[in-house]
Amino acid sequence: AQSVSQHNHHVILSEAASLELGCNYSYGGTVNLFWYVQYPGQHLQLLLKYFSGDPLVKGIKGFEAEFIKSKFSFNLRKPSVQWSDTAEYFCAASAPGTYKYIFGTGTRLKVLA
């Protein structure tokens, strides 16, 4: 069955620390991949997405993610986090030609000032 796994449920970092959030997917064939973020009190919004081409995708606010097909992974990274990055992060996947998205369970990131 198709699935998306996020193994880090809670992450606490100090400002300026580097961030890497794991995302693994289980899909047969081609896959579209997304990272969404939900800041406190705000709507869920897109950070970045990957469909094809360069496996290193850059998104908003200095985030990037790397698609590693051999590892079925799409990890989110940021070299230096800020207090304002405190949020919940969701990885999602979809199969081309479908309307269905599958989300991971989310990772709550807390950045200490």
Partner 1 sequence: SQTIHQWPATLVQPVGSPLSLECTVEGTSNPNLYWYRQAAGRGLQLLFYSVGIGQISSEVPQNLSASRPQDRQFILSSKKLLLSDSGFYLCAWSVGGTAQETQYFGPGTRLLVL
Task: Report, in Å, the least distance between residue 58 CB and partner 1.
Answer: 15
State how far the Cα of 42 lies from the Cα of 16, in Å rounded to an integer: 24
SS3 at position 85: helix
The nearer residue to partner 1, 46 or 112, going by C-beta atoms, is 46
Task: Report, in Å, the least distance between residue 56 CB and partner 1.
Answer: 19
State how far the Cα of 33 lies from the Cα of 104, in Å rounded to an integer: 11
Is 86 within 8 Å of 111 (Cβ atoms)?
A: yes
Task: Report, in Å, the least distance between residue 104 CB and partner 1.
Answer: 5
The nearer residue to partner 1, 27 or 72, going by C-beta atoms, is 27
The nearer residue to partner 1, 53 or 113, going by C-beta atoms, is 53
Could you list the residues that contact partner 1 (CB under 8 A)?
4, 6, 9, 32, 34, 36, 43-46, 49, 51, 90, 92, 94-106
Q: Can you name the residues that pair with 14 across neighbouring β-strands?
A: 112
Is 58 within 8 Å of 108 (Cβ atoms)?
A: no
Task: Report, in Å, the least distance between residue 91 CB and partner 1.
Answer: 9
